A = this chain, B = another copy of it.
Amino acid sequence: MVIVMGPEATGDNVASIVTVVRTAGVEAFVSKGVKRTIIGLVGDVTQLDSANLRGMPGVREVMRVSTPYKLVSRENHPERSTVHVGGVPIGPETVTLIAGPCAVETPEQTLLAARMAQAAGATLLRGGAFKPRTSPYAFQGLGERGLRILAEVREETGLPIVTEVVDANDVDLVASHADMLQVGTRNAQNFALLQAVGAAGRPVMLKRGMNATIEEWLMAAEYIAQRGNLDVVLCERGIRTFETATRNTLDVSAVPVAQRLSHLPVIVDPSHSGGRRDLVLPLTRAAIAVGADGVIIDVHPHPEQALCDGPQALVDTDLGELAQVMRDFPAMLGKSAALALS
């Protein structure tokens, strides 16, 4: 941490800061310039509140120079990690296709969607049993019945399951059926939920909050990691901007940035970011090309009847093109499509 004093700062101001800092067990080095004084801090600064220091007399700026997340940081763990979900890898060597219906509606619809997913090359099945919806009057998912349908479809197809959990109280229930727990964008700073999934013994897919900086996203992952769970996959799904032509703005730059800052795998959701079927394939290509370790895509046998997010689901006639993208693009990046380990 570096503290820059204003030109008006007195020697007493500097002395007070040094006292506060040393009281916290941190060393302070004072450099007096012609116009201003700079104090460099060395040691464990996690106990120092930079905002409070900023409020002390004479202080102009307080700048943090090391990352505030430790466990997910690449600083102490330079090699990128691979997370395994029911034997399927998500990591630097592969591009994993996760596909399925946005919401589980019926056993038939879920099985059909899973078959569509497999036809396109998916090795993990997504499907929502608990749906966080902006409106309390919208379809909120089938709940436990949806989890059982997913488990049956896994039985039938062999695809491990990724599904969302929206309530800390449901974590054990969801974990008893699912292979991977998803935390959605609206819960990206629901710290109680993050801690609960951290303790659940299942890999976690953590979507970026639609208003979260990359640093806040990594801090959310740190909450999970701190409970002993390092099997976390980050998922970029679009951020909120002024543009209204797309539901959100897919931030592809976040993929290489997050991969540089963290050892965790990073995947992309091209369905929810754009919110439009015609953008799913272009954004999938962009995601793989920018270096994503996987993509998660909505497919639906009858999107016009979907209870949730129908207009963004891929349909039968899109699958051939998606399969081709999954066949051709990973190799361009020196990766391969992710298969289940046998």
Residues of A within 8 A of B (CB): 2, 4, 20, 27, 29, 31, 33-36, 38, 40, 42, 46, 49, 51-52, 54-56, 60-61, 63, 65-66, 68-69, 132-138, 166-169, 186-187, 189-193, 209-211, 213-216, 219, 222-223, 226, 239-246, 249-257, 260, 273-275, 277-279, 282-283, 285-291, 303-311, 328-329, 332-333
A240 touches B243 (CB 8 A): no
With contacts A38-B40, A61-B63 taken as known, whether A226 is within 8 angstroms of B278 at the C-beta atoms is no
Looking at A66, A209, A242, A279, the one whose CB has the most chain B CB atoms below 10 A away is A242
A92 to B101 Cα, complex, angstroms = 33
Shortest CB-to-CB span from A300 to chain B, Å, is 10
Shortest CB-to-CB span from A260 to chain B, Å, is 7
A256 touches B282 (CB 8 A): yes
A239 to B329 Cα, complex, angstroms = 27
A222 touches B52 (CB 8 A): no
B279 touches A257 (CB 8 A): yes
B residues near A192, Cβ cutoff 8 Å: 166-169
A279 to B4 Cα, complex, angstroms = 22
List 8 A-B pairs, minimum CB-CB distance, nearest first: A211-B211, A55-B311, A289-B289, A186-B189, A167-B192, A285-B289, A286-B290, A286-B286
A214 touches B189 (CB 8 A): no
B134 touches A216 (CB 8 A): yes
A60 to B2 Cα, complex, angstroms = 13
Give 5 A-B pairs besides A35-B66, A239-B242, A260-B278 with Cβ atoms closer than 8 angstroms.
Answer: A29-B33, A31-B40, A35-B42, A55-B304, A241-B241
Shortest CB-to-CB span from A298 to chain B, Å, is 12
Shortest CB-to-CB span from A54 to chain B, Å, is 5
Contact of A289 among B36, B255, B288 (CB under 8 A): B288
B residues near A274, Cβ cutoff 8 Å: 253
With contacts A213-B245, A257-B279, A311-B55 taken as known, whether A135 is within 8 angstroms of B219 at the C-beta atoms is yes
B240 touches A311 (CB 8 A): no
A242 touches B242 (CB 8 A): yes
A304 to B40 Cα, complex, angstroms = 19
Look across to chain B and name the residue whose beta carbon is closest to the beta carbon of A166: B192
A133 to B192 Cα, complex, angstroms = 11
B residues near A253, Cβ cutoff 8 Å: 245-246, 249-250, 273-274, 279, 282-283
